[in-house]
Structure 1
Amino acid sequence: MSDQLTQKIQQDFDRIALLQPVQWNHNNHYHSFLLKQLPPHCEKILDIGCGTGVFSRLLAQRADQVTAVDLSPKMIEVAQQQSQSYPNIDFQVADILQWQFPVEYFDAIASIATVHHLPLEVLLPKIQTALKPGGKFLILDLVKSEGIQDILSDAVAVPLHLTLQLLKNKRLRPTPEAIAVWQEHGSTDKYLTRSQAKQIYLKSLTGAKITKHLFWRYSVVWEKSLAAS
């Protein structure tokens, strides 16, 4: 990823951090699903692309220590302000590709709506190294639709999206400001199809479970072998 693109992504998320938060979105809809995938007890968890720390705070209720990393200084600033009652979260401003991953340190590593910005061929070996044997890697990310099955899934997702927007957020559409900021950010985004995701992850993470979800998301759940060293 070029320095210019990295800078643009950081600036985009500095702006996104200042948007009015919403109660429901396509990412937090799957928080409970991801939490169910965690090991029974976690000493240390890494949250990659933590944003304003919403999921980090949920992880902090399940672990002794959470390290939460984000490229955006403004995101981390907001996260720290909103997480003062969670002393077990260590928020850090960092480019995760330049971050020093410790060896066999984390019981779980999670990332929501972040890995489409990153070269997976660089990131995944770092993840494998940093997880303890038996540790879990959890991804939720955006997916590009392909084929008739995804078209049918999208047809179900659209009215459900509108219903939940109205019920949870009390409006059918985001604010004009939010629409403008997200459209600008999305102009450089590229997403994997389900087929591409399976090909990439299964090549590096043997036994990974890749699942397509409603609301244009896919998940990856992978457990590092206990025999790994």
Structure 2
Amino acid sequence: MSEAMNQKIQKDFDRIALLEQPMWNHNSHYHRFLLKQLASHCDNILEIGCGTGNLSRLLAQRADRVTAIDLSPKMIEIAKQQSQDYANIDFQVADILTWEFPAKQFDAIVSIATFHHLPIERLLPKLKIALTSGGKLVVIDLLDNESIQGILNDSIAIPLNWIFHAFKNRNNKPTIEARTVWKEHLRTDKYLTRSQVQYIYKNSLTGANVKVHLFWRYSIVWEKL
């Protein structure tokens, strides 16, 4: 990733952090799925791309310590403000590509909607080293639907999106500012196709479980032996 792109992503998410956050979105929808993949209690969990800490706080309820990293200083600032009752979360502003991973430290490494910003093949070896034996990597990220199955998923996801938004967010519409900020950010976003996901993760992580979900997401669950 170029330095210019890195700076753009940081700037984008500094702006996004200041927006009013909906009660439900496509990422929070999969918090429950992610938590189900983890043990009921962990010593140490690493979260990559923690944002304002919504998932971090859920992880902290089942771990002795959560290390939550984000590139955006504003995201981390707000996460700390909203997590004052969680002394076991260590929020850090850092670039995960240059962050020093401790060896065999984490029982789980998790991430939602962050990996499409990262060179995955360069990152995965570091994650493997950082996991303990029996530790799990759980990733949920955005997907570019390329297949007939993807088109079918869209036909289900689009009306469901309207229904969930209407009921869970009380049909509150994003502000003009929010639409502008997100449009600018999404302008440079690029996502893997299902075939690319299969190729990258299956080649790097033997036995990785790859699954496609609604709301333009895929998941990777892998356990280190």
Amino acid at match of 2:55: F
Amino acid at match of 2:175: T
1:122 is displaced (CA, Å) by 1.1
Amino acid at match of 2:57: R
SS at structure 1 position matched to 2:65: strand
Equivalent in the alignment of 2:29: 29
Amino acid at match of 1:180: T
1:172 is displaced (CA, Å) by 6.2
Q: Is 1:163 aligned with 2:172?
A: no
Equivalent in the alignment of 1:215: 215
Equivalent in the alignment of 2:69: 69
8 Å contact from structure 1 (residues 134, 224) kept in 2: yes
Deviations 1:87-128 (A, max 9, x none): 000000000000000000000000110000000111100000
TM-score (norm 1): 0.97
After superposition, residues 87-126 of structure 1 pair within 5 angstroms as 87-126=87-126
8 Å contact from structure 1 (residues 71, 95) kept in 2: yes
1:39 is displaced (CA, Å) by 2.3
Q: Spell out structure 1 runs of 4+ moving beyond 6 A.
A: none
RMSD: 0.8
Equivalent in the alignment of 1:52: 52
Equivalent in the alignment of 1:42: 42
8 Å contact from structure 1 (residues 104, 129) kept in 2: yes
TM-score (norm 2): 0.98
Residues of 2 paired with 1:179 and 1:214: CA distance?
22
Equivalent in the alignment of 1:132: 132
| 5+ long unaligned stretches in structure 2 | none
| 5+ long unaligned stretches in structure 1 | none
Residues of 1 paired with 2:172 and 2:212: CA distance?
25
8 Å contact from structure 1 (residues 144, 194) kept in 2: yes
Deviations 1:53-97 (A, max 9, x none): 000000000100000000000000000000000000000000000
Residues of 2 paired with 1:41 and 1:58: CA distance?
12
Equivalent in the alignment of 2:83: 83
1:178 is displaced (CA, Å) by 1.4
Residues of 2 paired with 1:206 and 1:16: CA distance?
36
Amino acid at match of 2:98: Q
Q: How many residues align?
A: 225
Equivalent in the alignment of 1:206: 206
